[in-house]
Amino acid sequence: MAAPLDTVTWAVALTVLICAILSWGFVSRSRKSNVPVLGSDFLFGYVMAFRLLTHYRQTLLEGYRKHAFQTPGLKGWIVFVSPELYDDVRKSRDDALSMPEEVKSSLALENTIGPVVLHPWHFAVVRKQMTQNLGAKFPEVYDEVLTAFEDELQLPANGDWRPVHAHDLIMSVVCRASQRLFVGLPLCRDPEYNRISRDFSGTVMMGGFLIALFPTFLKPLVGRYFSAAPKAIRGVEKYIVPMIEERWRQERELGDVWNERKPADVTQWFMDSAPEGERDAKDITARILSVNFASTHTTSLSFTHVLYWLAARPEFLPVLREEVAAAVAAHGWTKGALGAMRRVDSFIKECLRVTGIGATAMGRKAMGDVTLSDGTVVPKGATVMLNMWGIHHDPELFPRPDEFDPWRYSRRVEQGKSEVSNALSTASSDFLLWGGGAHVCAGRYFAAQEMKTMLAVIVSEYDVRFDGLEPGVRPKDTWFAFSCIPASNARVLFRRRQTC
Ligand code: HEM
């Protein structure tokens, strides 16, 4: 039997590891941009990088006046730019300013979700087939949102209020509505499947954050032994792999008849689009998980903000109700009705402008020294990001930027401005929730549809308010680095609709 490692060996191994991490850190931050530094680069900026974890918003507002500036991040320099440089970042190719490399260094998805993320042909399927089918699939998504709210809320028959843990509620509804589109019935209603696929995003996020702190050569090791992702993947495979294999069996047996009978869902679109040699059930499952990861937390955290604004400002309910009722009277519960709900659209967009789920957008890693059109240099290895917080709170773009003005965007349309530019699903230099350019969110039309459906269902079916908070006050968000998490333990009161 091998002898256990002695103290000296452990000490040497630990020293080598710390030296490797530090030297990797020093190398990655040895070259700076030519724009002003905000904060101090004492000790290669590590002190500042840790301080910034809790101070990003203030720094982004302060730096916004400088147009472009840099700060030390945990993994290298970050160059923040304003909307004038949006097109530079948007149009850049991955061999100059790379989105996949940035994701790799911050989330290490290839070490959690697996190698499919390095060859993501399925993103094109999300952009094309999934988006093109949103109208046809709307009745199912609407049905799932409606049923999920009823199942999760369990409201008392006597019409009393019931306090509900808002974040859990929204996560469950988002998960079910998305899974209805991804895997269809009956799996989208399986509680155990939903629990595993819902937790998966959190597991990947935590694992990825940890793995990304290590140098490249250590990542596979940390991924294998310190991340819960492999177990979570096996949990989901248990459900999806047999479903895919069964569909392939039917395809072989039924031939052309299968084309008429086969389900229309994301799983099937991935199966039909898999290149020769990649028709493997586990591979396709990993692709579904990667879309799951991209959609679950983003949509549920975003919509939790929306619910908090609604519960804090119930005076806006009647206007929303009136609009939803008119749209449904004219179009029924269809995608067309959602298109007519401009105030619902505007309400959500304003929630995500004022609060939102993060402070930065469009992170891209420089693959070489890149000079932007105003002369700003992003040195090789540094990250460039759009200063989303600064842009979304710029008084020249948004008068009284800190005020929650739910009809800000619908008013612009009423005043004759472009409907498309002001729509929730549109990515632009002054609305950065979806990023931009070649990697702009592939699922934004679905995400916007899902959130609008949820808001329209809530205002049509329920009364909502906070218990014990002053009118207009929302529970406090939690900020960590660039991320904003709406209060995770707040409760919202729901009851069956009794008011107009
Ligand atoms: C409110 C919800 C959502 C938000 C805030 C959001 C935001 C984003 C952002 C910021 C990006 C990166 C864009 C860039 O860096 O330029 C992105 C990429 C992506 N999103 Fe979303 N997303 C949401 C929902 C969804 C949904 C529902 C899906 C799928 C059904 C989805 C699929 C994707 C995919 C596949 C990518 C990668 C695109 C690529 O690299 O080509 N997202 N999303």
Mean pLDDT split into 10-residue runs, the chain, 500 residues: 60 67 60 85 76 84 88 88 95 96 84 86 97 97 98 94 96 97 96 90 80 78 76 91 97 93 97 93 94 94 98 96 98 97 98 95 96 96 95 96 97 96 97 97 98 98 92 91 90 92
Neighbouring C-beta atoms of residue 144, cutoff 10 Å: 23
Per the CB < 8 A criterion, the answer to whether 444 and 299 are in contact is no
Q: Which atom of ligand 1 approaches the CA of 103 most closely?
A: 15
The protein residue with its alpha carbon nearest to ligand 1, atom 29, reads 443
Bridge partners, residue 73, by sequence = 76
Per the annotation, binding residues for heme are 441
pLDDT value for 2: 43
pLDDT value for 25: 60
Chain CA centroid to CA 15, Å: 37
Q: Is 443 in the pocket of ligand 1 (CB under 6 A)?
A: yes
- Classified as helix, coil or strand, 90 is helix
Residue of 126, 441, 444, 452 best suited for mutating to test ligand 1, as the one with most atoms within 8 Å of CB: 441
| Residue in the block written with tokens 């596979």 | 220
Say what angle helices 191-212 and 99-107 make with each other, to 10 degrees.
100
pTM listed for this prediction: 0.92
What kind of architecture, by CATH, is found in domain 30-496? Orthogonal Bundle (1.10)
pLDDT value for 217: 80
pLDDT value for 286: 92
pLDDT value for 369: 96
Tokens of 200: 């998966």
| Domain chopping of the chain, boundaries | 30-496
225-251 exposure pattern, b = at least 16 Cβ within 10 A, e = fewer: eebbbbebbebbbebbbeebeebeeeb
pLDDT value for 26: 60
The CA-CA-CA angle for residues 191, 194, 196, to 5°, reads 110
Indicate the burial class of 275 (C-beta count within 10 angstroms; 0-12, 13-18, 19 or more). Answer: exposed
What is the whole-number distance in angstroms between the Cα of residue 434 and the centre of ligand 1? 6
What is the whole-number distance in angstroms between the Cα of residue 233 and the centre of ligand 1? 21
Q: Is 447 in the pocket of ligand 1 (CB under 6 A)?
A: yes
**8-state DSSP, 369:** -
User: What values do phi and psi take at 291, rounded to 5?
Assistant: -75, -35
* DSSP secondary structure string for all residues of 238-288: HHHHHHHHHHHHHHHHHTHHHHHHS--SHHHHHHHHPPTT---HHHHHHHH
